[in-house]
Structure 1
């Protein structure tokens, strides 16, 4: 009798959408390595009566971390940072409110990993568009009304005709 090692298989559950980036922070746990985290207020429902679902996210992956860090100053300045995103590994965490009118009540937080950022708008201006990965079937979740952007030589898409999105690295963003 021979034994074969069966590879683990997974069923991925991803959440894609658009939402506002908030509370960007570096978390240093007592055990383990430090990591970056953020909140996303995801838009859902009809456009004339939008609702928000809040996700507390651990930023996963080098590219997502780099993009979130670049947005930190804009978020700290209370600018509107809207992103197209993909989340994975959704789970819930319960907690007890410690203050306010809900003090003593149980609350639920939706937690997830921020896996991918497909685009970023700061105060309605497109500052980043991820390159398309059609061969892998990745959907960039482009916001309505945003035309397909040509890719610039630096790996970023152009934000305006004749302008490379590398301007996202401008001093105003640091």
Structure 2
């Protein structure tokens, strides 16, 4: 049994373009099945331009307006469309599919509908947003650019292929723990070092102290010799007298 709580994934099909807006209307749904009646929805048609700007061709879109901002913009443009003013919009649509239907064929001489039927087709889609609109060449609406990280306020309720799961996160490396720095070695006083362990500076100081002691002994010896010589001289002087 399938897990009913599993999230469903959807594939999006988007199209963006520029075209002439017409046939703005609110559509009342027919309750043919006898169930709950659906709410009316806003609909419009756009003849999208394609090809060279010198000689463009047209692709006909029949659109259900679903974006919150798009509903407001199309509603504001309805009066200009009904007045047969030239309304050009830049748009974005989703969930495109081809719809075929039967219609009365037009007479090639006068353009009137004849009794002969023909098969026609158009593209149906959901209108997500309007990015700009001009009425008779004058800019009347321009959508503000969304802030970074903002999807533009349009919920497509879909996911691109490959978006399921953990998002492709393959980073499994663990952070490396830094080795703590070794503390600097501290010189211990000479009187606290183990016996037999001396620092080079201590040896130098010992050599200097021993050298100083030997020098002082020599000076004392010379002083004694001098006093003895002076004593002998005085003794000889007394003996002669």
Q: TM-score, normalised by structure 1?
A: 0.72
**Does 1:47 pair with 2:32?**
no
Specify the alignment match of 2:72 in structure 1: 66
In 2: Cα distance, 1:57 partner to 1:35 partner: 11
In 2: Cα distance, 1:100 partner to 1:118 partner: 35
Equivalent residues of 1:85, 1:116 under 8 A apart:
yes
In 1: Cα distance, 2:41 partner to 2:150 partner: 29
User: For residues 49-128 of structure 1, what are the structure 2 equivalents within 5 Å?
Assistant: 49-101=55-107, 103-128=116-141
Question: Which deviations, in whole Å up to 9, do the C-alpha atoms of 1:46-76 show, x marking residues without a partner?
Answer: 1111111110111112211111010011011
User: For residues 17-28 of structure 1, what are the structure 2 equivalents within 5 Å?
Assistant: 17-28=17-28
User: For residues 126-141 of structure 1, what are the structure 2 equivalents within 5 Å?
Assistant: 126-136=139-149
Specify the alignment match of 1:148 in structure 2: none
Equivalent residues of 1:132, 1:138 under 8 A apart:
no
Which has more radius of gyration?
Answer: 2
In 2: Cα distance, 1:91 partner to 1:137 partner: 28
Q: Are residues 61 and 104 of structure 1, via their aligned partners in 2, closer, same or farther at CA, if it must alter by over 3 Å?
A: same
Higher strand share: 1
Q: Which runs of 5+ in 1 are unaligned?
A: 140-174
Specify the alignment match of 1:7 in structure 2: 7
Cα deviation for residue 7 of structure 1 reads: 1.9
* Relative contact order higher in (CA < 8 Å, ≥ 6 apart): 1
Cα deviation for residue 100 of structure 1 reads: 2.7
Q: TM-score, normalised by structure 2?
A: 0.53
Higher mean displacement: 94-103 or 47-56: 94-103
Give the total of aligned pairs: 137
Question: Which deviations, in whole Å up to 9, do the C-alpha atoms of 1:79-111 show, x marking residues without a partner?
Answer: 111111000011122111135347321111211
1:119 counterpart SS class: strand
